[in-house]
Homo-oligomer: A and B are copies of this chain.
Amino acid sequence: MTGQSGRPSSSSDQPSGSVDGVEPRWLSEEDQRTWLALGSVLLRLPGALDAQLQRDAGISHFEYVVMAALSESPERTLRMSILAVMAESGLPRLSQVVTRLEKRGWVKRSPDPTDGRSTLATLTEDGWDKVVASAPGHVEEVRRLVFDPLTKAQLRQLNEISRRVITVIDPDDRCLR
């Protein structure tokens, strides 16, 4: 119930005599149901993904994303700022996660020779093994929760729907390529 947009069932219901000038366009019954369902997905899908990785691999989804991004980069290395963009997180958050991963021996930091300000994060051999070991289970879960229950047509729609929503939230986004 993230959604349903909590329109209090006021006494002055549908009529257009609002206090502040314009009467808000409330959601229709059907739209409310849609919003309710979407809200639930928004709230639970990330949790479910996290749970699987935590359970089977002992890492958070975010940690996985960071290591996965490194694993696909040349030299398995990325600058912190680039990595932050790819992981859709701020620098502080990334910095602490990398510290955590470094302590576990999966990532190591090194100064960038070409730019004294920036740091390079590199996935270690152990880190690569960790990603390889974790990926199948994670992919399987993604497939089970999202791709298997939907038809091909729905997946195409889901792609287009997501794309449109993102465009509104952040018009200049790298996710659209």
- Could you list which residues of chain A lie within 8 angstroms of chain B, going by C-beta atoms? 1-10, 18, 20, 24-27, 30-31, 33-38, 40-46, 48-49, 61, 64-65, 67-69, 71-72, 86-88, 128, 131-132, 135-136, 138-140, 142-150, 154-155, 157-170, 173, 175
In the complex, A132→B112 CA distance in Å? Answer: 53
Q: Do the beta carbons of B162 and A40 come within 8 Å of each other?
A: yes
Across the interface, do A6 and B41 meet the contact criterion of CB distance under 8 Å? no
Contacts of A18 in B (CB 8 A): 136
Chain B residue contacts of A88, Cβ below 8 A = 1-2, 40, 43-44
Asked if residues B162 and A69 are in contact (CB atoms below 8 Å), the reply is no
**B residues near A2, Cβ cutoff 8 Å:** 46, 49, 61, 65, 88
Which B residues touch A65, using CB under 8 A? 1-2, 6
With both chains docked as a complex, state the minimum distance between the C-beta of A15 and any C-beta of chain B, in angstroms. 14
Give the chain B neighbours of A71 by CB distance below 8 A.
6, 8-9
Chain B residues in 8 Å Cβ range of A9: 71-72
Separation of A36 and B67 alpha carbons in the complex (Å):
16
Residue of B nearest to A157 (CB): B157
**What residues of B have a CB within 8 angstroms of the CB of A135 in the complex?**
5-8, 24
A16–B69 Cα gap in the complex (Å)? 24
Are the C-beta atoms of A27 and B166 separated by less than 8 Å? no
B residues in contact with A139, CB < 8 Å: 5, 7, 24-27
B residues less than 8 Å from A25 (CB atoms): 139-140, 143
CB distance B159 to A157 under 8 Å? no
Complex contact A146–B128 (CB within 8 A): no
Contact between B142 and A5 (Cβ–Cβ < 8 Å)? yes
Q: Which residue of B lies closest to A37 (CB)?
A: B162
A159 touches B6 (CB 8 A): no
